[in-house]
Amino acid sequence: MVSDALTPERILEATEDVLRRYGPAKATVVDVARVLGVSHGSVYRHFRTKAALREAVTQRWLNRTSEKLASIAEDSGSAEERLGRWLTGLFEAKRHKAGDDPELFATYSVLTGDTNTVVDRHIDDLTGQLARIIEDGRTQGVFSSDSLGSPAETAAAVFSATARFHDPAYAAEWSKPGAEQDFAAVRALIVRGLRA
């Protein structure tokens, strides 16, 4: 027994350990139970299915990124500067996750492919933050209010246009030389497109 009570949080911790060690294909519920020193039946008391467990651990992982960015979205100050910082922050966060522990990143990339609802919520969260920055920018008069739809629609467009720099499908390209310049070029193009 590693500790006292068997909580969802402890199970998620153990699940991430097991995923890191064995990868998404080999990690089993029995492995998670073994790490915790309990039977696998006990894990099923807290998560109805293996899929539910994977969703929960994936959500936890995605939330670590969105929480970091939330503070930028909620800042006061120049919307244009915050937008640049937010987009750069998103790219940097993903790039570091991918570069620092490639195997765990690959593992979560597989998981996000299965857990569509969780990923959709994450994307809604991020585009919501973007929409807030865009709305602030329109209020401040630095971003155009004509011709580009609602803040939410514009946020979705900005998110789409930067997909190459946050979608795990492109992770292999983030460490190539020139990736940073490519990102800066797209960011400049987008910011220019938003200006009043």
In the complex, minimum distance from the CB of residue 192 to DNA, in angstroms, rounded to a whole number: 47
Applying CB under 8 A, among 169, 174, 175, 176 the residue interacting with a copy of itself is: 169
- Which of 158, 166, 171, 174 touches a copy of itself by CB under 8 A? 158
Q: Which stretch binds a copy of itself (CB under 8 A): 14-22, 36-44, 78-86, 181-189?
A: 181-189
CA–CA separation, 166 and 51 (whole Å): 24
Q: What is the residue type of 40? A: H
* 142 is a contact residue toward a copy of itself (CB under 8 A): no
111 binds, among DNA, a copy of itself, none (CB under 5 to 8 A by kind): none
- Establish if 196 lies at the interface with a copy of itself (CB under 8 A): no
Residue 146 interacting partner from DNA, a copy of itself, none (CB closer than 5 to 8 Å by kind): none
106 binds, among a copy of itself, DNA, none (CB under 5 to 8 A by kind): none
Contact, 49 vs 96, CB < 8 A?
no
**Residue whose CB is less far from DNA, 57 or 134:** 57
Phi, psi (rounded to 5 degrees) for 143:
-105, 140
Of 154, 174, 177, 180, the one binding a copy of itself by CB under 8 A:
154
Q: Does 172 bind a copy of itself (CB under 8 A)?
A: no
- Nearest CA to 44 among 20, 8, 5? 8
Question: How far apart are CB 130 and a copy of itself at their closest, in Å?
Answer: 12
Nearer to a copy of itself, 29 or 168 (CB): 168
Contacting positions for a copy of itself (CB under 8 A): 144, 147-149, 153-154, 156-158, 160-164, 167, 169-170, 182, 185-186, 188-194
